[in-house]
Amino acid sequence: MNIIIVGCGKVGATLAETLSAEKHAVSIIDSSAEALDRVRALDVSAFRGNGSSYRILLDAGVRDCDLLIAVTNRDEVNLLCCLFAKKAGVHRTIARVRDPDYYQEIDFIRDELGLSLTINPELACATYIYHLIRCPSAMELTSFAKGRVSMLTMVLPDDSPWDGKNLIEVSKESSSELLIAILEREGQALIPHGTTTLRAGDRVSLIVASERTNEVCQRAGIRTKPIKKVMIAGGSTTSYYLARRLLQARIQVTIIEYNRARCEELSDLLPKANIVCGSAADEELLLDEGLEKADAFVSLTNLDEENIMLSLYAHRLSDAKRITKVNMTNFNKVVSDIPVGSVVSPKHLTAETILHYARALRPSPDSDVEAVHRLSNDQVEALAFSLKESSAVTGVPLLQLPIRPGVLIGSIIRGRKMIIPSGQDTLEPGDFVIVVTTHKGIDTITRILE
């Protein structure tokens, strides 16, 4: 496809890298020469200028564009870009819309401007953090099939009953109701096989029915308790969305924010939250506000470095579940080796949503892409396919299919039934299939075959 990206910030650059790697023809527009320099090494066409200028859009080839993605840091510019693109004949447009006031009217805006998709990174991030808090044992949590199936990532503790056992033994003990799909050890992610032996300290991602996540964690030796008190560092828009959701679930919330005007605003928006005006980097303040008794600590300041240091401090002082916002990709390998808890990135979540949409646009006679999730520092993808009709993958026992190395059929949802597949199971039209793979760019179910 011909894709135009307006905005070469963190999200735009990530999208340009991912979409160009998947062999799309990508053009990117930004007014900053420095920002464009960061993508010069990619196979993309760069245009310097205002993305809401119709002339610049024409220069970038908007009349031949299949998809326009507007992800600048200004909502109004994003919406105007999409409007101009629609006028130029582009059928599919995506806009990043972040302002909570706009997002309250997002259905009206989407309909009036004919947008294909709107994305609010802060809301998506807050929603993801909320689900992590509701599942205290999870380092990462991905849902499929409208929440019926989960991929749960956790670190095996030193006294885990699974330490020293292989996957076949774990599966037998669990009555084959879970599947360990990814094993990450010493920073390397792999798709394990039945004889792979687990070790304490391994980071494992397993597929299980959502209602059984807590039971599975207990079997793995992870002890958790319900989260009732949450402390949030930083009063950002993400913090507001998260606090609102937590308060609705009757969870106590404390927000520490340095800017007094923002504190007053949050006090009006969140009257049931405890809003504290002060620096989240003030150790004495954190202790006074109950960090040692918090069940979860969420670092959501605007600085990645500060978020990392705050989570390390929380790790030293309390047993709170830690969630750390990190947007810079060059920090990923660093934070994976230190105890900052779950790492979340609005940029990553936004790029993931757009990537799913772009792959779903590719016509396929046998399957539709229903979800795309990138895991283990983007080393692994978990995809969901809806099988439309018979193809090379249907009706044949999985043991007989020439499935590519690095590909695992994680689960089959057939009607109301979830199946952890064995070699004798088959894929059938109408199935919802979860695939875990180390290969990138799979957009149809037949591409899992050699």
pTM of full prediction above 0.95: no
Where do the domains of the chain lie, and which CATH numbers do they carry? 2-119 (3.40.50.720), 229-344 (3.40.50.720), 362-448 (3.30.70.1450)
Residue 329's pLDDT is: 63
- The confidence score (pLDDT) of residue 351 equals 85
Q: How far is CA 450 from the centre of its chain?
A: 28
Residue type, 357: Y
Nearest-angstrom CA–CA distance, 343 and 46: 31
Element (H, E) at 116: none
According to the model, what pLDDT value does residue 223 have? 78
In 278-416, at which residue ranges do the beta strands (DSSP E only) sit? 296-299, 321-325, 342-344, 367-375, 380-387, 407-414
Residue 285, both tokens: 């303040």
Q: How far apart are the first and last CA of the chain?
A: 25
Q: 221 and 159 in contact (C-beta within 8 Å)?
A: yes
Q: Which DSSP state fits 73?
A: S
Q: pLDDT 10s digit of each residue in the chain, 450 long?
A: 999 999 998 889 989 988 998 889 999 999 999 999 989 889 999 999 998 899 999 999 999 999 999 999 999 999 999 999 999 999 999 999 988 888 788 889 888 889 999 999 899 999 999 999 988 888 888 888 888 899 999 999 999 999 999 998 998 887 667 899 999 988 889 999 889 999 999 999 999 988 888 888 888 998 778 899 999 999 999 999 999 999 999 999 999 999 999 999 999 999 999 999 999 989 899 999 999 999 999 999 999 999 999 999 999 988 899 999 998 766 666 676 788 889 998 888 888 888 888 888 877 788 788 888 888 888 899 999 999 888 889 999 999 999 999 999 999 999 889 999 989 999 999 999 999 999 988 889 999 998
Q: Judge whether 351 and 373 are in contact, CB under 8 Å.
A: no
Which pLDDT score is estimated for 212? 86
> Are 70 and 7 within 8 A, CB to CB?
yes
